[in-house]
Homo-oligomer: A and B are copies of this chain.
Amino acid sequence: MKKKLIYITRKEHFNAAHKLYNPNWSAEENDAVFGKCANKNWHGHNFDLYVTIKGTPNEDTGFIMDLKKLRDVIQAEVIEQLDHKNINLDVPFMKGKMASIENLAVGIWEQLEPHIENGKLHSIRLWETHNNYVEYFGEENTEH
């Protein structure tokens, strides 16, 4: 019998401060590119994080992965690092990177991937406001 491929998603959230600025640029250049997102005293967001894994349900449990274990991994590897923190200053896995949600989504993928059974992590979706979100599927950009 063919095994079916199912995707399951868990949502978590965290609240954090950040700013967008390039330390190699002047304040004026940062203002010109990042506008109010460059405010030197920071701003912040309620981030909603959706982690999707894929696989075939175990016959005994009906589970691809125990969602309680997935939640515990997300809490330990991501939420503990980010919740009520400053993304630019307090988060080891973001040191030296622009604190954009594009980079944050990749950082979250890299935090989670070693803790989830091989091949099962499918995507990270990260909402920054009601009006924008980023997705990362672990893909390489072969075109651009």
The interface size of chain A toward B, counting residues with CB under 8 Å, comes to 76
Interface SS of chain A: mixed
* Copies held by the complex: 6
Knowing that A4-B141, A20-B62 are A-B contacts, what are 18 other residue pairs whose CB atoms are under 8 Å apart, sorted by A's residue number? Answer: A5-B140, A9-B133, A9-B134, A10-B131, A11-B131, A12-B131, A39-B90, A41-B85, A41-B90, A42-B44, A43-B84, A43-B85, A45-B46, A46-B46, A55-B144, A56-B141, A56-B144, A119-B143
Would you call A130 and B46 a contact (CB within 8 A)?
A: yes
| A residues in contact (CB < 8 Å) with B | 2-13, 15-18, 20, 22, 24-25, 33-37, 39, 41-46, 52, 55-57, 60-64, 66-68, 83-86, 89-90, 97-103, 105-106, 119-120, 129-137, 139-144
